[in-house]
Copies of this chain bind each other. A is one copy, B any other.
C-alpha cells in the first residue's frame, strides 16, 4: 500500500467521528511480516512512526517487509510471541496481527496456533501493561463460527464448534478476546479489538489456500479453479488498504468494545470465480470439491458500529481491488518464471 496515503496528522473529521492521529510513535506490530501486518507496517512507517516488526516467519514472509529494512524507523525481530517478548525502551502502541489465519496453515500446527492466539496475546498484554502501551487485537469473523444470522453484528454470540478442526483458531481467537477484555476491565490496559472479515490484496500467500489468491493464481496459471461445495456459500471481501485504515482508526479511537471491520458486499464463490475469469481472460475450468468440516455458509459484517464510532467505511470496490491483486500476482508469477528461465 502507498504509505503516503496517510497524512502525518489527522484530527477528528467533520462528523466528529474518531480518526487516527499519526504523531510519531513507537509501535510494535506482532505478525508484521504477514499479509495484513506488512501493509500495516507500511502505513505506520508512511505516517512517520517508528515500527518494531515482530514475526516468527512461520507464515509471514521476510519478502513482505524487505523493502522497509533500509528505513531507520523500521526494525525487525524474529520472535515467536508464545514466549515473553524481550523489548527494551518505551512503546506507545502494540498491534497483535500474529497468527496463521488460513485453515490449511493454522491446522498444520493446531496446538501452536491455539497457543499463539492465547499465550501470544497474554505475553503482548503483559508487555502493554508494563509499557503502558495501547494494544489492538486482530480478532476475526471466525468468532461467529457458522453464523445463523446475517449480517453479523458485534452482539451476535456466534456458533462455534469447540471440538473440531477449526476450533484451534476460532476458540483461540474467542479466548483471546476474553483476555483483552480482562486486561481492559481489570488491569488498566487500553485495549482495542477488531473483528476482521475476509481481506484480500497484494502479498497474500498463494500457498495459504484463501479463496481470492487461490482463484487468481489458478486463473493466471490456467489451472482448474477449485470450488468447495456448491459454491453458493458467500463471503465479504475487504481490500487490505481499507482494513489497515480501519485498524488505525480503531487504535486511535476510545472504543473498547469489539468492532467489525469488513466489507459488507456479499459474493458467492461462483460470482467471485466469474469475476476473476473475466478480469484475467483465463480459460480455467471450474471444478468442485467437498466442503470442509465446519466451513461457514455465509459471512457478512454489520459495520454500523465502525461507521458510527470510527467514521470508517470500506472504499475499494471488489472489481478494483481484484484488478490490483491480479496485477500483483501476475508480476510475482512473471518474476518466478524469469528466475526459472535464468537458472
Contacts and interface: CB of A to CB of B under 8 A. Distances in A.
Nearest to A191: B163
Interface string A171-200: 110110111111101110000010000000
A335 to B, nearest CB: 37
Nearest to A184: B163
Q: Is the interface of A mostly helix, strand, loop or mixed?
A: helix
Interface in A129-164: 143, 145, 157-164
Copies of this subunit: 2
A275 to B, nearest CB: 33
Nearest to A107: B186
B181 A175 contact: no
Nearest to A145: B157
A40 interface: no
A163 B178 contact: yes
A212 B171 CA distance: 32
Contacts of A258: 162-163
A18 interface: no
A168 B175 CA distance: 8
Interface string A94-129: 000000000000000011001100110010000000
Contacts of A175: 114, 118, 162, 171-172, 174-175
A181 B162 contact: yes
A294 B186 CA distance: 18
A20 to B, nearest CB: 23
A179 B143 contact: no
Contacts of A160: 157-158, 174
A178 B114 contact: yes
Contacts of A164: 181
Contacts of A257: 163
15 contacts: A110-B186, A111-B183, A111-B187, A114-B175, A114-B182, A119-B119, A143-B162, A145-B157, A157-B159, A157-B160, A160-B174, A162-B174, A162-B177, A165-B185, A167-B178
B168 A171 contact: no
Q: Which 8 A-B pairs have the closest CB atoms?
A: A163-B181, A175-B175, A167-B178, A171-B178, A162-B177, A157-B159, A171-B175, A162-B174
Contact of A157 (B158, B168, B172): B158
